[in-house]
């Protein structure tokens, strides 16, 4: 069974800013403190979604989360009216205000792990929101993520929803950024590859020394159990700890898979050759492994250009395309790699370069912006239809962004209570456009 791989992209939120919150994310740290452009960022994200929809792919949208997170600030001891909470946090703890104002839910690859019904024991698609427990600003997201996913995928006969994993860093789960589903042509089910950075309880196990390994093997195993995946079709693969220390904070920064194609850097995995052989056997000899050597492009070059944070998609006529950031074309080494891949004997037949620079400056390329949701035709029919992008929805969302988003946002602007009010007004109207009801906490007061 060949499933429809729908892409659900996160809409960039009105508080998109560069606070440099993500330790280990080179781009995030490099642009910390710079002026961001929320309107441009949101329009770039919508343009990317429309581009894929125009290619004939199923493209959905995920709503941004409410930011600033006033409830989190109250839990941190700031009181008064909502405006006073913002003002007091700005004066007393601006870093906490920045953390609770992050628009990082835009990177929907971290939203959840999805297993389609074709692969699960009960025949339902399973959704597990990522716990994101390694970083404070992202740990605020899972509950709202789960609520949104339950609205979009509501039919209990077709979709199963789980709570995020409990616990702290020992069960650190970063969602689909460290998960890939592969399938052999014509196969009845897929193969699930969970990539982890460290084991939680193995003191002698290999792990990075400088930056945190955000995904643990134990977390990946728990998500696989919740998803009711067959152990015979589930593989747990360790990321190379050395590349984590060089800025590869998620597997999707150095490898990307789709159907029977695996595009990866030779330094991606702790034991790359053995892993590729294992996956080829699992796909009955049909794995199209496309390796990029360090002599072609260094880890630093692929991190800087986000070549592997491209999407691989199958177009309606059956050809396979790479959806890459402009930076991968502008960097001479990675551009040459792409040209070599297109010329070689592998399924990737074309490349489409897209401008998502505002996201890239915070460390998120095309693949970061989307959650892959494999669905069959009946599943797709049960999805909340107002969140599936078409020409009309793109036009309405673009006009909504133009009305509500600021052109520029400086770090000190996060302390402006008007930003909170503007954001709430925008989100209130968004739920009307997407017919999501009272999704946000401020709507339920």
Report d(CA 370, CA 106) in Å as an integer. Answer: 8
| Selected catalytic residue, list 250, 265, 361, 394 | 250
Report d(CA 92, CA 221) in Å as an integer. Answer: 41
Verify whether residue 335 is a known catalytic residue: no
Report d(CA 93, CA 398) in Å as an integer. Answer: 34
Place of tokens 């939203």: 111
Concatenated DSSP letters for 323-349? Answer: EEEHHHHHSHHHHHHHHHHHHSSSSEE
Apex 259 CA angle, 62 and 302, nearest 5: 75
- Sheet strand arrangement including 370-375: 59-62, 4-10, 370-375
Residue 235 near residue 262 (C-beta atoms within 8 A): no
Of 436, 386, 355, 362, nearest to 66 by C-alpha is 436
- Quickly count: other Cβ atoms within 10 Å of residue 221's Cβ: 16
| Selected catalytic residue, list 5, 179, 368, 394 | 368
> Which alpha helices (DSSP H) does 184-330 contain, by range?
217-226, 241-244, 272-282, 299-305, 326-330
Report d(CA 99, CA 87) in Å as an integer. Answer: 15
| Selected catalytic residue, list 66, 141, 174, 183 | 174
> Furthest-apart CA pair in the chain: how many Å?
64
Q: Within a 13 Å sphere around the CA of 240, how many CA atoms are in the beta-carbon half?
A: 21
By CB atoms closer than 10 A (0-12, 13-18, 19+), residue 207 is: middle
Tokens describing residue 336: 């040459």
Verify whether residue 221 is a known catalytic residue: no
Verify whether residue 174 is a known catalytic residue: yes
- Quickly count: other Cβ atoms within 10 Å of residue 36's Cβ: 24
Q: Could you give the 3-state DSSP secondary structure of residue 316? A: coil
Tell me the catalytic residues: 174, 250, 368
């Amino acid at each position: 069974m060949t499933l429809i791989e729908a892409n659900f992209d996160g809409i960039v939120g009105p508080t998109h800013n560069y606070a440099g919150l993500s330790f280990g994310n080179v781009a995030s740290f490099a642009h910390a403190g710079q002026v961001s452009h929320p309107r441009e960022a949101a329009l770039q994200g919508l343009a990317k979604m429309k581009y894929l929809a125009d290619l004939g792919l199923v493209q959905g949208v995920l709503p941004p989360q409410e930011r600033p997170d006033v409830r989190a600030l109250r839990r941190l001891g700031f009181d008064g009216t909502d405006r006073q909470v913002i003002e007091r946090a700005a004066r007393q703890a601006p870093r906490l205000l920045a953390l609770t104002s992050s628009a990082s839910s835009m990177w929907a690859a971290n939203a959840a792990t999805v297993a389609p019904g074709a692969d699960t024991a009960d025949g339902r698609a399973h959704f597990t929101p990522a716990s994101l427990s390694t970083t404070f600003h992202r740990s605020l997201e899972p509950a709202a993520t789960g609520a949104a996913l339950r609205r979009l995928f509501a039919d209990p006969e077709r979709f199963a929803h789980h709570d995020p994993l409990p616990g702290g860093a020992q069960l650190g789960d970063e969602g689909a950024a460290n998960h890939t589903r592969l399938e052999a042509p014509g196969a009845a089910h897929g193969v699930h590859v969970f990539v982890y950075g460290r084991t939680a309880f193995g003191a002698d196990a290999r792990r990075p020394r400088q930056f945190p390994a955000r995904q643990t093997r134990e977390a990946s195993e728990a998500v696989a159990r919740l998803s009711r995946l067959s152990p015979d079709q589930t593989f747990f693969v360790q990321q190379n700890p050395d590349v984590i220390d060089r800025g590869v904070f998620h597997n999707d920064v150095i490898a990307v898979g789709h159907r029977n194609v695996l595009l990866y850097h030779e330094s991606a995995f702790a034991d790359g050759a053995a892993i590729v052989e294992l996956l080829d056997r699992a796909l009955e000899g049909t794995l199209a492994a496309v390796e990029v050597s360090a002599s072609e492009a260094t880890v630093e070059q692929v991190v800087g250009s986000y070549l592997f944070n491209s999407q691989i998609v199958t177009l309606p006529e059956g050809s396979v395309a790479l959806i890459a950031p402009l930076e991968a074309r502008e960097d001479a080494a990675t551009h040459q790699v792409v040209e070599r891949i297109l010329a070689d004997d592998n399924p990737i037949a074309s490349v489409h370069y897209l401008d998502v620079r505002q996201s890239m400056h915070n460390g998120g390329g095309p693949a970061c912006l989307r959650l892959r949701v494999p669905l069959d035709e009946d599943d797709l029919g049960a999805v909340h239809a107002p969140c599936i992008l078409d020409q009309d929805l793109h036009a309405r969302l673009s006009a909504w962004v133009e009305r509500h988003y600021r052109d520029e946002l400086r770090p000190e602007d996060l302390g402006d209570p008007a930003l909170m009010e503007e954001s709430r007004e925008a989100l209130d109207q968004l739920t009307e456009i997407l017919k999501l009801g009272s999704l946000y906490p401020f709507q339920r007061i």
